[in-house]
Structure 1
Amino acid sequence: MEISGIISAIVIGLIIGVLGRLVVPGRQHIGILWTIVVGIVAALIGAGIASAVGVADTKGVDWIEWLIQIALAALGIAALDRAKTAHR
């Protein structure tokens, strides 16, 4: 993977992570690095799911793919937050 691919994965992960974090109600007790990691993982898994169901390559913005990725990020952030607060 080239440096531009890594940078774009981080930027997309940040966007997906932040949007996922906005969906989860209340305050989350995880840092920005965890948000980025969850966002990157959610973006990759969401892209795979969208590709599998045939909604990844459409004309214009792939809204369904974005919704899948944001939902996965929200689930990941909620699960990580719950695990961190239960560990305290």
Structure 2
Amino acid sequence: MNWLWAIIVGLVLGLIAKAIIPGKQKIPLWLTVVFGILGGILGNWAATGLGVNHTRGIDWIRHLLQVAGAVVIVAIGDQLWASIRGRGRSQTR
């Protein structure tokens, strides 16, 4: 059941990150989910390092770090995806 939550949270984080980043991202939905999952992991790692991963009530700081991690991963991943996809098309012509 944990993998299902990881996919759902990854989708939500990825879509939020795509909404925050200006412009249109060209990554497919499945890659948005993967990048969202990676961003969540990065945010959890940062929250643990800062000592704010477990607080009373809702872990707002951890959630903000997860969103920030997703934004970073989606932004970098979108650029990599565009360069890989663009390079592949120009080589086949």
Give the TM-score normalised by the residue count of structure 1: 0.88
| Residue number in structure 2 paired with 1:38 | 35
Amino acid at match of 1:74: V
User: How many residues matched?
Assistant: 85
Of residues 42, 46, 62 in structure 2, which corresponds to 1:65?
A: 62
CA–CA separation in structure 2 for the residues paired with 1:47 and 1:27: 27
Higher relative contact order (CA 8 A, sep 6+): 1
Sequence identity (%): 33
Secondary structure at the counterpart of residue 26 of structure 2? coil
- RMSD (Å), alpha carbons: 1.1
Which runs of 5 or more structure 1 residues have no equivalent in the other structure?
none
Give the TM-score normalised by the residue count of structure 2: 0.84
Which runs of 5 or more structure 2 residues have no equivalent in the other structure?
87-93
| Residue number in structure 2 paired with 1:74 | 71
